[in-house]
Chain A
Amino acid sequence: MKASRKKKRRKVQVPIASMGDIAFLLIIFFMLLSEFSKEKDLAIDLPRSDQVNKTEVVVVARVAMTADGAIYFDGDRVDNAKDIEWGVRALLSKTVADEQRHVQFKCDAALSKEKFEPVLKAIAEGGGIIEAVGENQ
């Protein structure tokens, strides 16, 4: 009698009650940590070179310049290069390591020196290392 009872199949149940909670926690985690790119709407024709590499550095700020000479600092439009210098300086005021000084610079290929060079200098004056964004030739 006892032996026949032992032979009965044991139902193995995986506890899935908390799966939904875990999944929603993951969604909330990604939603909080994700950062939407503010510069997607900017029409910038990037310069080409065969020496650009995929960068792994973490940038502290993003500077962009459109074909009409408008300057953007972290997605927000600023009036002139001086604002960029102050912005970079403020961000890097407590930074010592070189790895934390990278500033991304996106600029339209057709822009003339008169417009982009003050911004490049402003980043350098603010203490940033320029990560000039381009495309492969």
Chain B
Amino acid sequence: MFKHRKKQEKRHRTGEIPTGSFSDIAFLLIIYFLVATTLVKVKSISADLPSGEKQSDAAVDKTPIINLRGSKMFFSDKEVTLANLNARLAALKLAGKTPEQRVVMLESTSMTSYESYFQALAAISSNGGVVAIVEEEDSQ
């Protein structure tokens, strides 16, 4: 009886690595990564800024202009709220115009925060406008 058991034990020692559970481990890893992965999808606004070319003064006169002074917003020199600005820009129906007519100028003071700037950018872009940043000319 004892000898028979010893024979059985010896039969199991074949030197093979048990690979039966490999697929289970692999699929568990896949499921783990699928569950734990977060796909990064950010929320953004798209703003196509034309790379700097100076416009003639006559063309600039007709172009709508947004001024950001600190936390205040001005549209054609009149103070507006963000909702007002959106309504004003929507009334211009920029989306149906040619790219040259869609330009909205954006002027800001040096202390304007990115928060205000971003909101103005978002308003212009969502109404089909193309943003043109107004630069202060050097006095020299």
Residues of A at the B interface (CB closer than 8 Å) are: 16, 19-20, 22-24, 26-27, 30, 37, 47-49, 51-55, 57, 102, 104, 106-114, 116-117, 120-121, 123-125, 127, 129-136
| Nearest chain A residue, comparing its CB with the CB of B22 | A20
Contacts of A121 in B (CB 8 A): 49, 52, 133
Contacts of A130 in B (CB 8 A): 46-49
A-B contact pairs, 11 of them (CB 8 A): A23-B29, A27-B26, A30-B30, A112-B114, A113-B113, A114-B110, A117-B108, A124-B49, A130-B48, A134-B122, A135-B43
Q: How many residues on the B side are at the interface (Cβ–Cβ under 8 A)? A: 38
A30 to B27, CA, bound (A): 13
Q: Is the interface of B mostly helix, strand, loop or mixed?
A: mixed
Contacts of A19 in B (CB 8 A): 23, 26-27
Residues of B at the A interface (CB closer than 8 Å) are: 19, 22-23, 26-27, 29-30, 33, 40-52, 108-115, 117-119, 121-123, 125-126, 133
- Give the Cβ gap from A126 to chain B, nearest Cβ, in Å: 8
A136 to B119, CA, bound (A): 11
Given contacts A57-B46, A111-B113, A121-B52, contact A49 B118 (CB under 8 A): yes
